Each structure stands twice: as C-alpha cells, then as structure tokens.
Amino acid sequence: MSFSTRIIFKTAVTLQLQKLLKLIPASPNGVTILCFHRISSQYDYFWQPIYPETFRLMLESLVKEYQIIPISQIENLAGKSTKPPLVLSFDDGYKDFIEEAMPLLQYYEVPSNHNIVIDCADGKSYIWTQKLNHLFNLLRNSSRFSINVALDKSFVLDITQPCKNWFVLYYKTLFYLFKLEARERAECITTLERYLNINPNDYPISMMNWDDIKFLAKNNVEIGSHTTSHVSLSSVKNEADFAHELDYSKKRIEETLKCECPVIALPNGLSNEIVNQRASDAGYKAVLCLAGSGSSAGKSTDKIKFYNRLNMIQEPVNYMNVRIKLYEKGFTK
C-alpha cells in the first residue's frame, strides 16, 4: 500500500468512526474538560508542545461542536445551550500561553481555566519534569560516546551511544523520579545538572510572572492552583508539606489576584483518598484530575467536586475529535 493510499485509508476510517460514535449515547459525565500544557512552535523530542496552528485548528473545530464555558459554570448548565458543554483547561503557566494561545482564545471569544505553579510565578524555580525533559534532550544530543551517571544509589544512567531507545530510557527515569519525595528528586536532578555542567537557574523555559497572571484574570481566564512547587501530591507524607502545596498556593493566588481560587489541578493527575480529603479541607471546590494517570478522581459531594480531564497532544484535528468522542463514551479512562 502506497503512502498516499494509507493516508486516504486512515482518513476514511477516522471519518466513519466519528459518524458511528455519534450514534452511541454519551456517558452522563455532564461536561468534557480538556487539559492543555504548552502551545509553542518549538520542537521537542520527548515532550512536544502543541503547535499554534494546530491549536487554532483545534479551537476552530471545538467551537462548532461545543459550547465552551468557564470552569465556574460547570454546576450551573441546565438549559443554557443546545450544544454539549466543554471546558478548556491549561496547566503550569508557560509564557507561551500569553504569546500563542491567548490571541486565539480572544479571537474565538472563548473562556479558559489556567492552573499555575506558585514557585514558577515567583521566579524561584522551574517545573522538575521540564528540567528533566531539557536535560534528556542535552543527553541525547551529547557528543560523548558513553554516558554513565548515578542519580542516586538505586538508579544509574548507563548509556552507550548511539542509543536506540531514548524514549524508554526517558520514561524509565521519569517514573522512577515520580516515586521519590521532593527532596530526593531534586537531588537527582542536581546530579544530572552537574554531570552536564548546567546552571540550575538557566533553562530555556519561560514561565508567566504575576503581572502576566493578573492580565489573564482580567481577560476571561479563571485562575486555579497547580500547587506551590508542582509536587505529585500522592507522594506527600506530612501535614506541613500539604499545607505548603495546597493551603499556601490557594492563599497566595487569592491575595495576589483579589479573587477566590476554588480550583486545584493535581500535578500529573496523581491522587489518593488522603489528597482528596486534604484538598477539601483546604477549601477547594473543584479538583481536576487527569484521565489515564493511574489514579481515579474522588467522589464528588456537595462540598467539593472531582473532574477528570483528557490530556491534549500535538495531533491532527480529526484524530483529536475521535479521541474526545471515545473519552466521552467511556472507551478511555
């Protein structure tokens, strides 16, 4: 089968699947929430942002199919539109959002939710997953014939170039670091920085500051917390850390923006019963999880609601539409 024939075949199958999915009743989840991260023209081998033109095409398609609503209106939808409701949610607080996503959101006149990391807005640190991502790009492009670095006593990166399984190695390292407490994980990242002679304060990653975030809050973007340091809350062991990540981040946003912060988006979508209860105790009204993260959303009550989100990636729009429909029908978690 030729390349052009394969493309035509895939397109035909995709279109037929979209038609079939419309015949299946939707699951009674109420609202679809999409989770975006970076919108950028930069290429990245390990974690590709969504290109601005792709994001434009995504929005163009979504506004035809859905009524895009603010996250604050999820519980007040009855009879407001004939279209199904959808929320656009963004995590982390990348500067790209101001430069690339915001003009498109304003052009299509749609609201969104953006969940920020306090330490990044303060200019204190970068998100550790983005650090790892950049460091692995440097490793992959390294001219060294062999790479051998012990991140700690239990994990050694031993690579003989050329490496044919960079993705496997990257995700093996990522999932190992997920299991560590914040201090141990930071030490591993520092070890890799020293090996590559990288200044820990000099990463090619621009994050929004508080002036940027204030601009968003005044322009149809509802601000939520993504914790103080982007720690996986399921790995938190003590009350002091919970207070720092949940209570402090909420308070800081409310004091800086002079408005309520009812939403917490869980970093990496990872949660457990303790995290769910602690989020409720901190006064959040909505917890945003991530479908496919390996942990399920908590049970909603009158006090606090739990919502899953579908992670968005760089992909053709027709593929996106099929993924969303599959998610809505309950075929994916």
149: enclosing H helix or E strand: strand 146-152
Whether the pLDDT of residue 29 is over 90: the answer is no
Residues 6+ apart with CB under 8 A from 301: 280
Give pLDDT tens digits for 248-298: 999 999 999 999 999 999 998 878 889 999 999 999 999 999 887 655 567
Better pLDDT: 214 or 235: 214
Instruction: Give pLDDT, residue 201.
Output: 82
Q: Is residue 10 very low, low, confident or very high in pLDDT (cuts 50, 70, 90)? A: low
Interatomic CA distance for residues 261 and 284, integer angstroms: 7
Instruction: Give pLDDT, residue 28.
Output: 40
The pLDDT of 70-89, averaged and rounded, is 84
Whether the pLDDT of residue 16 is over 60: the answer is no
Structure-block tokens of residue 328: 């809505």
The pLDDT of 210-223, averaged and rounded, is 97
The pLDDT of 122-144, averaged and rounded, is 89
Domain 3-124+207-328 listed as CATH 3.20.20.370: yes
The pLDDT of 35-48, averaged and rounded, is 94
Considering the chain, what is the average pLDDT of its residues?
Answer: 87
Instruction: Give pLDDT, residue 203.
Output: 87
Where along the chain do the CATH 3.20.20.370 domains lie?
3-124+207-328
The predicted model scores a pTM of 0.88
Better pLDDT: 36 or 12: 36
Whether the pLDDT of residue 319 is over 60: the answer is yes
Whether the pLDDT of residue 26 is over 80: the answer is no
Find the range with the poorest average confidence among 6-10, 122-126, 176-180, 277-281: 6-10
Instruction: Give pLDDT, residue 220.
Output: 96
The pLDDT of 127-134, averaged and rounded, is 92
Residues 6+ apart with CB under 8 A from 308: 29, 33, 289, 290, 291, 296, 297, 333
- Asked if 117 and 234 count as a contact pair (C-beta separation under 8 A), the reply is no
- Asked if 252 and 214 count as a contact pair (C-beta separation under 8 A), the reply is no
Whether the pLDDT of residue 185 is over 60: the answer is yes
